Amino acid sequence: MSLSLSPDEPAVPNDATDGVWLECIDCSETFAPFEDVRYTCDACDGLLEVRYADLPTFDDFEGRGVWRYADALPLESGVTTQEGATPLYEVPRLEDDLGLEAVRIKHEGMNPTGSFKDRGMTVGVAVAKELGVDRLACASTGNTSAALAAYGSRGGMQTLVLLPAGKVAAGKVAQASLHGARILEVDGNFDACLDIVQELAAEGEAYLLNSLNPFRLEGQKTIGLEILEAFRDDYGTFPDRIVLPVGNAGNTAALYKAFRELLQAGAIDREDVPKLTGVQAAGAAPMVEAVENGSDEVRRWDDVETRATAIRIGNPVNAPKALPGIRETEGTAIAVSDEEITEAQRDLAGEGVGVEPASAASVAGLRKLRAEGIVTEDERVACLTTGHLLKDPDAAAAAGDDPEPVPATTEGVLEHLTGESRPGR
Ligand SMILES: *Cc1c(COP(=O)(O)O)cnc(C)c1O
Ligand SMILES: [Zn+2]
């Protein structure tokens, strides 16, 4: 099967363009990449993956950001706002507290629109241009819509976003709006929005840029490439584990693909592959359920709820690509409560790293796995934080302390400061 860590060398099909083609992960049918609009396999409706005749090693990369990795991407350049090259922060207090050899935070909130979705969009919107479509669409828990709106406007294209009414953080709606997307608020959850947008796309109304789109995941692979390069440079070795929040499981699938391609290119060895470890909110944890049951099938959860709205997803579309990744890398998946998520958000903020709730799930999951002894003290771990604190100002304000009213005099302020202790402490 193509999704194992030791795949067969691919035979380059006749429909490849410059050594790039699309291949079904289920039946291995191949398709030309840029001729027709296609999101899934014509033959069996399976998920598609971008495949390459030549895969690069680390020596082939040059420059900064997502397009440093152009040799691992389907196009040479994209519609860009200089996404990628995000920081990998040290968090010494958290590292001590968790009792681990190393903990680093890959803060994807430092992308241009404040989430990793930019990495996917710089590639996906460029492919849309290549295909000659003029209207782009997505369903979104918020960040995809912000990124699509920004990259669509940069590329001079119309954008349409479907959002679950009342369940999208304020910063994200504001971004989609100002970048000029038409925002349709759907009376339903994210999964219902995605069902509708897939049908619109199937009818040719718009080009779909959810993570079902195989090109978007190519851009998101670069998160893994950056983490591996940074660990190698700092520690002379790769991380033992990468812990990440899981919604539609696009990143889990994308990181796994990055590892498989590096292995295939001979750039890393089998023992260099980090254990992919997914974290979901307890109120939206179908992937965790599947991993715990050892199942290949993910049961769709119809009722999902969590404060971490970016991962409030009951039907992870990339599960068929992501589950083999978790299994083959000997990783795992775990669910955390909203309280544990908020606690982790505070921990990160206490070291100067501001993230939105979904992002903090990675750290909350790491803490839980460490407490359970599944993550051991000798491990070097990278946690992915997917979005910026300012995305969800309401959640941040609720997790932090309240402002303290004081009189407009120095004396009054001094009196206040020497008086009762800070509220909420
Ligand atoms: C989209 C998103 C996720 C979920 O990522 P998947 O690749 O769909 O699993 C997690 N966190 C944030 C902040 C997001 O925007
Ligand atoms: Zn197929």
pLDDT, tens digit (0-9, with 9 covering 90-100), for 281-320: 999 999 999 999 999 999 999 999 999 999 999 999 999 9
Rounded to whole angstroms, the Cα distance separating 218 from 223 reads: 10
The answer to whether the CB of 102 falls within 8 A of the CB of 376 is no
Rounded to whole angstroms, the Cα distance separating 163 from 166 reads: 9
386, with CB counted inside 10 A (0-12, 13-18, 19+), is buried
Indicate which residue's Cα is closest to atom 15 of ligand 1. Answer: 143
The answer to whether the CB of 421 falls within 8 A of the CB of 195 is no
- The per-residue pLDDT for range 360-383, each reduced to its tens digit, is 999 999 999 999 999 999 999 999
Q: Is the CB of 356 under 6 A from ligand 1?
A: yes
Q: How far is CA 218 from CA 80, 159, 173, 268, in A?
A: 15, 21, 26, 19
Please name each of the domains of the chain with its CATH number: 88-114+217-399 (3.40.50.1100), 117-212 (3.40.50.1100)
Q: Is the CB of 118 under 6 A from ligand 1?
A: no
Cα(138) to ligand 2 centroid in Å equals 23
Q: Is the CB of 245 under 6 A from ligand 1?
A: yes
Cα(219) to ligand 1 centroid in Å equals 14
Q: Is the CB of 331 under 6 A from ligand 1?
A: no
Element (H, E) at 105: strand 102-107
Q: Is the CB of 306 under 6 A from ligand 1?
A: no
Return the number of other C-beta atoms located less than 10 Å from residue 411's C-beta. 8
Secondary structure (3-state) at 241 = strand
pTM: 0.97
Cα(152) to ligand 2 centroid in Å equals 30
* Closest atom of ligand 1 relative to the 278 alpha carbon: 9
The answer to whether the CB of 207 falls within 8 A of the CB of 214 is no
- The per-residue pLDDT for range 5-33, each reduced to its tens digit, is 887 777 899 999 999 999 999 999 999 99
